Structure 1
Amino acid sequence: MVSLLDPNARGRVILVGAGPGDPGLLTVRAVEALRIADVVVHDGLIDMRVLDIAPVAAQRISVAKKRDRHTLSQEAINALIIAHVKTGSIVVRLKGGDPFMFGRGGEEVEAVRAAGLKVEVIPGVSSALGCAAEAMLPLTHRDWSSAVSFVAGTCQGLSEQNWSGLAGQGRTLVIYMGVTCAGLIADKLMADGVAPDMPVAVLERGTLEGSRAMRTLLADLGDMMIREQVISPAIIVVGEVVLLSDAEDRLRKLAVQAETVRGDA
């Protein structure tokens, strides 16, 4: 059986997880795939140092998406990949984090298979795992959390999502794509019974230059996003494990402020 990473095997797709940003977090197999690519179809947040691993002659095609303005629809991206494979090219579809963690990798695999073409998936370090590791924030811990959940925090459909029971004592909730809707997310969780003083971490640009790890309380999440001018990409972590993180600590200041308010009442 011919390996999909055999340079002599032409006309195929390799979905590659680029990790959270730092090229040092690429897997060995991901590097091997990039080195034999004829075409690299990549997301917008891929570090240029990762793209430089591909051969100089390889065609690099950005399918970057921005909020409310997609350069290409998912269907168009699928068609683009398939068109290049049919010319006999080795197409590396390079995705931030892991292709199967909020990366629409499953949709692209389905499209390639439906076209009768070869496809392989090389997993990557998910953004949540990479950012949490950099911030020394364990998502599970024997003393603090025995369960972790991952959700998408985009505004569209937020009210319909059922997050009941995903956050609270002994549980960790990790929210992708939640910067814009952070205030709504906090309101949603508190309405579901999560305590307003539940610790929250915001991990901005994790593993990249200029990364920040900030810690606050759930009730302050939306306001902190505005105060600190947080921009995507950023991961939100809700849970008691946040207390263990190596993050800029706003919790003590907020606790003092809250105690002062109670004393004045």
Structure 2
Amino acid sequence: MIICIGAGPGDIGYLPQRSAGLIRDADVIAGFDAVVNVVRPLIPARAEVVLMGYKDQVAQLEHVARLHHAGKRCVVVFMGDIHFSGFQYLERVERACGHPVETMPGLSSAQVLASRARVCFDETTFITFHRRGDLTPFKRHLVHVLEDQRNAIVIPCPWDAARSFMPCHIAAYLLENGISPAQPTEVWENLTRGEAEWHGTLAECADKTFSDMSIMLIRTLQPMASQIEPAEAA
């Protein structure tokens, strides 16, 4: 067996019970250091732990695949939910194994943010820049989302300086592409782990620096009116 699980937004209390059970029963637990550390209290002493980073992930996943094909029960842990920002990592797992693998979703920081900020996904678009490859299509999509008067929940790209697309860069890009500087903007850091929040405008955000553990909410200038039935007169 090999299964990929979403470990939630950082606090182990947000880990689904089914995922916790899979970790406790596993022979092998694999993932990036920070993610494995979230679930470490659940890892059995007998289990082999395979840690990896961006540079050695391919080689380490090939090692996990060999253990899987040898009959070991393997769990690969992802931060948040696999299908929000981890899909490229999932592709690497499946490439190493040579076949599709089972996935177990988790709670993402985007879902936690929607709860904290009281926005609904019916009126909100989620976009992640936490990915390899060309970000241009996703940047254009974000502009169109805001032009269409929808909220946007955005995960920045925190990698090397040459490629980073953090909240200040996102704000500057949107301003350059005609989005109003008055657009209400929030940046939340370390959700579920010592949270901090910043509220301002898109123009103000362009001058702010935030940590790698950040997620943005850019609110529409024209919120949708409630569509529930009118309250009855007293």
TM interval, shorter chain, is 0.7 to 0.9
Shift of residue 165 of structure 1?
A: 1.2
Letter of the structure 1 residue corresponding to residue 50 of structure 2: I
Shift of residue 232 of structure 1?
A: 1.4
The Cα offsets for residues 83-137 of structure 1, whole Å up to 9 and x where unpaired, read as 121222111100100112211254045325625xx7321000112112443xx21
The Cα offsets for residues 172-206 of structure 1, whole Å up to 9 and x where unpaired, read as 11221345433321122123322101111111110
The Cα offsets for residues 49-71 of structure 1, whole Å up to 9 and x where unpaired, read as 5221121121222223xxxxx33
Cα distance in 1 between the residues matched to 2:181 and 2:206: 12
Question: For 2:169, what is the secondary structure of its paired residue?
Answer: helix
Letter of the structure 2 residue corresponding to residue 147 of structure 1: T
Task: Provide the residue aligned with 1:211 in structure 2.
Answer: 195
Task: Provide the residue aligned with 2:95 in structure 1.
Answer: 111
Cα distance in 1 between the residues matched to 2:184 and 2:191: 19
Match of 2:81 among 86, 95, 98: 98
Question: For 1:50, what is the secondary structure of its paired residue?
Answer: helix
Question: For 1:100, what is the secondary structure of its paired residue?
Answer: helix
The Cα offsets for residues 23-69 of structure 1, whole Å up to 9 and x where unpaired, read as 111111101101111111122332735221121121222223xxxxx
The 1:98/1:162 distance shift into structure 2, 3 A limit, reads same
The 1:162/1:193 distance shift into structure 2, 3 A limit, reads same
Task: Provide the residue aligned with 1:51 in structure 2.
Answer: 40
The 1:178/1:105 distance shift into structure 2, 3 A limit, reads closer
The 1:165/1:16 distance shift into structure 2, 3 A limit, reads same
Task: Provide the residue aligned with 1:140 in structure 2.
Answer: 120
Cα distance in 2 between the residues matched to 1:42 and 1:191: 38
Letter of the structure 2 residue corresponding to residue 31 of structure 1: A
Verify: 1:239 aligned to 2:219, yes or no: yes
The 1:21/1:146 distance shift into structure 2, 3 A limit, reads same
Task: Provide the residue aligned with 2:126 in structure 1.
Answer: 149
- TM-score normalised over the length of structure 2: 0.79
Cα distance in 2 between the residues matched to 1:91 and 1:39: 5
- Alpha carbons 2:110, 2:126 under 8 Å: kept: no
Task: Provide the residue aligned with 1:176 in structure 2.
Answer: 155
More displaced 10-residue stretch of structure 1: 81-90 or 161-170: 161-170
Whichever structure has more helix as a proportion of its residues is 2
Gaps of 5+ in 1: 1-11, 65-69, 244-265
Gaps of 5+ in 2: 159-163, 224-234
- Alpha carbons 2:65, 2:97 under 8 Å: kept: no
Instruction: Please tell me whether Structure 1 or Structure 2 has the larger radius of gyration of its CA atoms.
Output: 1
RMSD of aligned residue pairs (Cα, Å): 2.7
Cα distance in 1 between the residues matched to 2:130 and 2:206: 13
The Cα offsets for residues 131-171 of structure 1, whole Å up to 9 and x where unpaired, read as 443xx213328xxx723232316797344542231125631
- TM-score normalised over the length of structure 1: 0.70
Verify: 1:200 aligned to 2:200, yes or no: no
Question: For 1:223, what is the secondary structure of its paired residue?
Answer: coil
Verify: 1:162 aligned to 2:137, yes or no: no
Letter of the structure 2 residue corresponding to residue 83 of structure 1: R
Cα distance in 1 between the residues matched to 2:13 and 2:109: 14
Letter of the structure 2 residue corresponding to residue 51 of structure 1: R
The Cα offsets for residues 237-257 of structure 1, whole Å up to 9 and x where unpaired, read as 11149x9xxxxxxxxxxxxxx
The 1:156/1:222 distance shift into structure 2, 3 A limit, reads farther
Cα distance in 2 between the residues matched to 1:139 and 1:28: 26
- Alpha carbons 1:166, 1:173 under 8 Å: kept: yes
Letter of the structure 1 residue corresponding to residue 204 of structure 2: D
- Alpha carbons 2:28, 2:72 under 8 Å: kept: yes
Aligned residues with identical type, % of pairs: 23
